Amino acid sequence: MIIRNLREIRGSDHEVRPEDGQWTSRRLLLKHDDMGFSMHDTLIHAGSEIRMWYKNHLEAVYCVSGEGEIEDIETGEKYLISDGILYALDKNDKHILRAVSEMRMICVFNPPLTGREVHDADGAYPLMESTGS
């Protein structure tokens, strides 16, 4: 059994914040945990606008606090995101996430992240072969 405590992840190398500072991802489970998925507790900071296209991964995101919106880039449709709303990028959907207030999101990735990925120019994470950290 694996037990993780967010308090121990804060400030460790399992806490990832990109250079633009738009989000902070606390990686609770990663590839090396051998669960078949990774799970993150991610803060999307107020005012952020993040363009993403996880072409190599499926991601489900469950909002537990804060408010914002997600835009489907292909269709232009926008959906309000707040506490209790989940979105699943089952078609590797290109999207833009906008945070009105800080949003706390529980994110699950399949295949799992190794922990070292950063968004590329498309807003994607590469597929990485590694035991992770």
Contact residues: ligand 9YT, CB under 6 A: 23, 25, 40, 42, 52, 59, 61, 97, 105, 107
Closer of 34 and 53 to ligand 9YT (Cβ): 53
* Residue closest to ligand 9YT, measured at CB: 25
Residue with tokens 């669960």: 35
Please report how close the Cβ of residue 128 comes to ligand 9YT at its closest, in angstroms.
13
Closer of 14 and 131 to ligand 9YT (Cβ): 14
CA 86 to the chain's CA centroid: 12
Please report how close the Cβ of residue 116 comes to ligand 9YT at its closest, in angstroms.
11
Please report how close the Cβ of residue 12 comes to ligand 9YT at its closest, in angstroms.
15
Closer of 42 and 92 to ligand 9YT (Cβ): 42
Closer of 7 and 93 to ligand 9YT (Cβ): 93
Residue 9: exposed, middle, or buried by beta-carbon count in 10 A (0-12, 13-18, 19+)? middle
Tell me the H-state helices in the chain: 6-9
Per-position b or e across 68-93, b if 16+ CB within 10 A of its CB: bebbbeeeeeeeebeeebebebeeeb
